[in-house]
């Protein structure tokens, strides 16, 4: 490891200590973020290393701005994200201009060292060479030599890519390796890989309206000590997502007992209180949404009984799981 990386990682760890608060996590379903300062964010440990990550990160599949105002809004989100102590930013070559936009904006803001960049790779043709080329292009676009996490996107080419990614971890060009999906149809394959291969992370879809991952995948991640990023925590950007189901509805009065002040916090506290979950990565292009969602990493989190209450409430409101 060269000196630059040492300084960068030390800085990263220092920031995590100063601006975040550790969650117990790991098997009880109960975790409390007892913030000593209002801005402290709850964190969870990556099992493979013990490094702690704030439980709220950022998804960037809508980071291809088409005008100055859109670019400025995303810049404001990235500035506030790291200033608040949050760090995880999920992107992918498949997300059009996302990697390039992140590379430019993080360079402008000077906050790359505070970010935990998770990108993705595929090998549709089944060769490691295409994966290798894609990784170099990601580094160029993201303007970084060291990728914090590289995930095989939707398991495409996983067999040839995992050895390549491990080799790059050994050469300190990647810090962690993972695989992703957002479709229950891929869970059987994902479960097989989780049993067969050494993985640091999985990324999976999970929300109050879509709990299929809780049946086998999340428990296996806990058992195998694999960190979990959660995509689509609001059911995506489409019409019919979780927000559309609660439009005009007040929060239940008991939400205040969990320090929940908005539907965004309601949905995210449900996700991040699952004991297997390391970090949720909601898509956010608006600063107000980031500010709102950071609230899910502060204050009390639901325990197992309170999570059941949230599920019962949701099912009565919106129909059974799988309907969103």
Paired residues of 89 in beta bridges: 58, 117
Structure tokens at 168: 């790059």
Should residue 84 be labelled a site residue for ligand NAP when binding is judged by CB under 6 A?
A: no
Q: Measured from the CB atom, is 30 or 75 closer to ligand NAP? A: 75
Should residue 295 be labelled a site residue for ligand NAP when binding is judged by CB under 6 A?
A: no
Among 33, 75, 292, 294, binds ligand NAP (CB under 6 A): 292
- Nearest approach, Cβ of residue 42 and ligand NAP (Å): 17
Contact criterion met (CB below 8 Å) for 155 and 181: yes
Q: Measured from the CB atom, is 30 or 203 closer to ligand NAP? A: 203
Q: Measured from the CB atom, is 154 or 306 closer to ligand NAP? A: 154
Should residue 284 be labelled a site residue for ligand NAP when binding is judged by CB under 6 A?
A: yes
Q: Measured from the CB atom, is 179 or 220 closer to ligand NAP? A: 179
3-state secondary structure (DSSP) of residue 82: helix
Could you give the CA distance from residue 84 to residue 47 in angstroms, rounded to a whole number? 23
Q: Measured from the CB atom, is 70 or 216 closer to ligand NAP? A: 70
Among 178, 283, 299, 302, binds ligand NAP (CB under 6 A): 283
Count the residues of the shown chain that bind ligand NAP, applying the rule CB under 6 A.
29
Paired residues of 283 in beta bridges: 59
Contact criterion met (CB below 8 Å) for 119 and 229: no
Q: Give residues 59-78 in contact with ligand NAP (rule: CB under 6 A).
A: 59-62
Should residue 154 be labelled a site residue for ligand NAP when binding is judged by CB under 6 A?
A: yes
Given the rule CB under 6 A, which of 32-40, 44-52, 191-199, 275-283 is the region that contacts ligand NAP?
275-283
N-terminal to C-terminal alpha carbon distance within the chain? 45
Beta strands (DSSP E) in the chain are 20-22, 32-33, 41-45, 52-54, 58-59, 88-90, 116-121, 147-152, 174-180, 201-205, 227-231, 279-280, 299-300
x/- binding map, residues 215-234, to ligand NAP, per CB under 6 A?
Answer: ----------------xxxx
- Nearest approach, Cβ of residue 262 and ligand NAP (Å): 6
Could you give the CA distance from residue 60 to residue 89 in angstroms, rounded to a whole number? 7
Structure tokens at 76: 């404001």
Q: Give residues 170-209 in contact with ligand NAP (rule: CB under 6 A).
A: 180-182, 203
Paired residues of 195 in beta bridges: none
State the CB neighbour count (10 A cutoff) for residue 88.
23
Judged by the rule CB under 6 A, the positions of this chain that interact with ligand NAP are 59-62, 90, 153-154, 180-182, 203, 231-237, 243, 264, 281-286, 289, 292-293
């Amino acid at each position: 490891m060269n000196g630059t990386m040492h300084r960068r990682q030390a800085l990263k760890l220092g920031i995590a200590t100063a601006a975040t608060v550790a969650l117990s996590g790991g098997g009880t379903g109960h975790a409390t973020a007892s913030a000593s300062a209002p801005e402290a964010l709850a964190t969870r440990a990556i099992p493979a290393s013990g490094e702690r990550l704030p439980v709220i990160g950022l998804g960037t599949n809508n980071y291809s701005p088409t005008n100055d105002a859109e670019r400025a809004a995303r810049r404001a989100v990235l500035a506030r994200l790291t200033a608040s102590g949050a760090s995880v930013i999920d992107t992918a070559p498949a997300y059009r201009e996302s990697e390039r936009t992140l590379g430019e904006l993080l360079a402008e803001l000077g906050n790359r060292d505070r970010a935990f960049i998770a990108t993705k790779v595929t090998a549709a043709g089944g060769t490691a060479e295409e994966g290798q080329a894609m990784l170099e292009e990601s580094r160029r676009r993201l303007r970084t030599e060291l990728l914090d996490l590289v995930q095989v996107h939707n398991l495409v080419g996983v067999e040839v890519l995992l050895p390549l990614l491990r080799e790059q971890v050994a050469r300190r060009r990647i810090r962690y390796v993972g695989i992703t999906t957002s479709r229950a149809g891929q869970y059987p394959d994902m479960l097989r890989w989780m049993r067969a291969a050494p993985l640091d992370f999985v990324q999976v879809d999970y929300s109050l309206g879509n709990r299929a991952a809780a049946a086998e995948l999340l428990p296996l991640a806990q058992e195998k000590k694999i960190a979990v990023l959660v995509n689509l925590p609001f059911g995506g950007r489409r019409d019919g997502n979780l927000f559309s189901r609660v439009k005009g509805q007040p929060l239940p009065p008991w939400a205040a007992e969990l320090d929940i002040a908005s539907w965004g916090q309601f949905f995210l506290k449900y996700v991040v209180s699952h004991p297997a979950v390391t970090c949720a990565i909601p898509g956010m292009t608006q600063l107000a949404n980031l500010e709102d969602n950071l609230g899910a990493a502060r204050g009390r989190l639901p325990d197992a009984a309170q999570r059941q209450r949230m599920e019962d409430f949701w099912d009565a409101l919106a129909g059974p799981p799988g309907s969103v």
